[in-house]
Amino acid sequence: MPNHLPTLIVTPHGQPNSVLYTYLHTEENRVNYLLTPSPQGDLCVAKLFPPHHRSSTPNPHSKSANVVRCEASRDLKWTIENTGVVSPIYKIVNQDDTPLYQISKPNPNAEFWTMFYFKYAGHQIPPKRIEFGKVAKNPPEKGGGTRISITGKTEDEKQVWQTLGVGNEDCVEWVVCCACLNLLDDQILHAAEKKAHQNPPASSSAPASTAPRPPGPASTLRPTVPRTHSGPSPSRTPVGPGIASTVPVGIQANRNPPSFRGDARQVPPNRPGMPPPVGSQRGVPIPPRGSPAPIPNSRPGTGGTEQRHGHGHVLHRPAPQATGRRF
């Protein structure tokens, strides 16, 4: 499902068909449930509330962005906080801010995680950290997945089951499972972020539209300023339909560009055989007195007249020689 982490299944080692717990993600990974099967259906034994903007790397500027709140039956509440810098270090803290467990790597390049619990001997005596299990990848020939092992060989290791009080061994199992499953969530996110950085998505551009559109205001988004130099204008290649122009070829070639106010400083240069302009009005040269009136389809500022014919071709004809008297 998009924007959701996959559902994780916890089974006894070597018994893939016997489900102990199901870790379900809901509400775009904002509320997760640890479920266990029963004759009446799946029962919720724990509930997790990850941060809204979750990332596989801890945020040193915001503690709340690294904390997962957890709660279970028997009024049990705890938090899972990632405090690592070089590599993740997960600290499981009780609701009275007492450190319970820790999951971390023995070194940043290790391929397994070590689980510890803290044994307290007194108020002013630092707690003793005792290793009680490991989290590592299970070989494919043994079923694959991730293996969570709680050894319990020595007496200190066996006392991990009494860290939440006598008779609450199942609560210890819930807390440890939630911590390990949260670790797997971060590993999945980290792999997805790493893959996204290695293969950035290609920039997709919308294809150009080839359907002709009727002339309208939308086709004048990029107006062309009329030229003010004299002589025939250079041949233009008509712009076809596309992103830069949405006007068909025939309409684009037969349309006059929108008029702008000319710059009075732009005076066309003199050419042999043609009289220099006397004055201009808004940048358009004034024809000499006595010259014939310009043709209606003439373009100002080109030193000649234009006659438009079919298929968008433009013929240029030089202006007639002035015969009147100049002032």
DSSP-derived pairing of the beta strands 304-308 and 43-49: unpaired
**What pLDDT does residue 14 have?**
86
* Separation CA 262–CA 275 (nearest Å): 21
The answer, as to whether pTM is greater than 0.85, is: no
Strands 146-150 and 128-137: antiparallel
Question: What range defines the domain where residue 92 resides?
Answer: 8-193
Cα–Cα distance for residue pair 259/236, rounded to 1 Å: 19
- Helices H / strands E in the chain, number of each: 3, 15
263: amino acid identity, one letter: D
Is 49 buried (19+), middle (13-18) or exposed (0-12) by CB count in 10 A? middle
* Domain presence at residue 150: yes
User: Which candidate, 98, 99, 67, 69, places its Cα nearest to that of 83?
Assistant: 67
Of the candidates 276, 217, 221, the residue with the CA atom closest to the CA atom of residue 243 = 221
Residue 34 counted as domain residue: yes
Whether 219 is in a domain gets the answer no
Q: Residue 150, class by beta-carbon neighbours within 10 Å (0-12 exposed, 13-18 middle, 19+ buried)?
A: middle
Between 269 and 219, residue with greater pLDDT: 269
Q: What percent of the chain has pLDDT over 90?
A: 39
In this predicted model, what pLDDT tens digit does every residue of 16-32 receive, in sequence order?
Answer: 899 999 999 998 889 99
* Domain-embedded: residue 271: no
Tell me the one-letter amino acid at 204: S
DSSP letter string, 288-311? PTTSPPPPTT--TTSSEEEEE-GG
pLDDT at 133: 95
Q: Is residue 103 part of a domain?
A: yes
Q: Which of 78-82, 185-189, 247-251, 274-278 has the lowest mean pLDDT?
A: 247-251
Q: Are 99 and 90 in contact (CB under 8 A)?
A: no
Residue 284 has pLDDT above 90, yes or no: no
How far is residue 249's CA from residue 237's CA, in Å, rounded to a whole number?
10
- pLDDT tens for 204-252 read 444 444 444 444 444 333 444 444 444 554 444 444 443 334 444 444 4
CB 189 within 8 A of CB 56: yes
Tally of CB atoms within 10 A around 132: 24
Selection from 26, 23, 71 nearest residue 183 by Cα? 23
**Within a domain: residue 66?**
yes
pLDDT tens digits, 148-176: 999 888 999 999 999 999 999 999 999 99
State the DSSP H helix or E strand holding residue 274, giving kind and residue range, or none if neither.
Answer: none
Let me know if residue 300 belongs to a domain: no
| Per-residue pLDDT at 65 | 72
Count of structural domains within the chain = 1
Tell me: the pLDDT tens digits for 23-62? 999 988 899 999 999 999 999 999 999 987 665 566 655 6
Joined tokens for residue 274: 């043609």
DSSP conformational letter for 7? P
H/E run at residue 229 = none
Average pLDDT over the chain reads 73
Q: Flag whether pLDDT at 10 surpasses 70.
A: yes
The answer to whether position 48 is within a domain reads yes
